[in-house]
Amino acid sequence: MAKTSLILGGARSGKSAIAEKITLSHSLMPIYLASAQALDEEMANRVARHQNARQGHGWTTIEEPRAVAQIISNAPADQAILFDCATLWLTNHWMDGADLAALTEALTEAITRASAPITVVSNELGQGNISVDAATRHFNDAHGVMNQALAQVCEHVAFVTAGLSMTLKGTDPLGAAS
C-alpha cells in the first residue's frame, strides 16, 4: 500500500471524503491536520461541517495554518496524517508574503522523510481561466509548482471529480476501480 497520497480536485469534488478513507485505511489513530482558518461565517460553517463528519471516527484534529511541515516531520509511525488542504496552507503563507518555493520544498522534504503515512489534499486550479491580475497569476503559478512537487514525492496521486477518484500515479490504496 502506498504510504503517501496526493488527492487533487476542484472545490466540492469529494476529495476530502476520499482522503479520509485512505487515511483511515492506514491507522486507527488518524490525525486530521487542518490548515483552514475560519475568518468569516461561511468558512466557519465549512470547518464545522468537516469536523462533524469526522466525529466518532477516532480522529485527532490539529488546526495549524502554517507549521505543517514540522507536524508531519514529528508524527509517529503508528498514526496517519490527513493534511487538508495544501491550497489553504499555501494561501496562508502567500498572504504573509512568504517564500512559497522554499515552503513547498520544506513540505515535500517533510513528506519524504515522514515515518507516518501521509495523505495530502490540494485543489486543482490549473483547469480554469488565466486570471486578469498579476497577484492571482503569481499564486496560481506557485500553486501549480507545489502540486507538481507533491505529485513527484507521493507514491499515489489521484484526481477527484463528482466524488469519483481516478488514479494518476501508483496504485489506489483503497483498491477502487478507476
Which residues are catalytically annotated? 50
Cα 135 to the center of its chain, rounded Å: 23
- How many C-beta neighbours within 10 Å does residue 157 have? 22
> Exposure of 15 by Cβ count < 10 A (0-12 exposed, 13-18 middle, 19+ buried)?
buried
Q: Measure the CA–CA gap between 58 and 28, rounded to whole angstroms.
A: 7
β partners of residue 165: 160
Contact of 9 with 15, CB cutoff 8 Å: yes
